Amino acid sequence: MPPPHPAIRAILVCDLLIRDERTRKVSLIGITEQIDAQRFPWTLHSLFVWATITDGQGDYRIRLDLVRLEDLAASHILDELDVTLHDRNSMGELNFNLSGLVIDRAGRYELALYANDRLVGTKSIDVIQSLGDRA
């Protein structure tokens, strides 16, 4: 029998994710819904996705995809990881480091989170071309 399908509690995108070694608490720095690129293609130097899932029990293969909404064809698997939820009341924390990802052009994108190839939740993010600092 397959494990129950988990539910998404949160998906946040930020510039930096820090975990305190002593308390195990996570600090999300620079939470955003927009990426500013000076030119294209643009390489992300520091970008993280933090998510939590619940209402699942058992083993899951978690996948994070990036889809450009303009054409839906430009999809990239960003990361995959294995997660075990011990009971339906437990919270699974997911951390993805997107640093180094190359974005081809401006537009609206969607981060899609899957558990065992079934969609759990999405988060939209806008990529814009900034003018940068002009002297």
Residues 3-19 have pLDDT tens digits of: 899 999 999 999 999 99
- In a domain, residue 36? The reply is yes
Q: What angle do CA 82, 30, 33 make, to 5 degrees?
A: 75
Residue 98 covered by a domain: yes
Residue 70 lies in a domain: yes
Q: What pLDDT is recorded for position 71?
A: 86
Count up the domains in the chain and report the number: 1
Whether 87 is covered by a domain: the verdict is: yes
Q: Identify whether 1 is part of a domain.
A: no
50 domain-assigned? yes
The gap from C-alpha 81 to its chain's centroid, in whole angstroms, comes to: 12
pTM: 0.90
Are residues 13 and 49 in contact, defined by beta-carbon separation less than 8 angstroms?
A: yes
Q: Within a domain: residue 135? A: no
Whole-number pLDDT of residue 134: 46
Whole domain around residue 76: which residue ranges?
7-129
For 57-90, what is each residue's pLDDT tens digit?
999 999 999 999 998 766 778 899 999 999 999 8
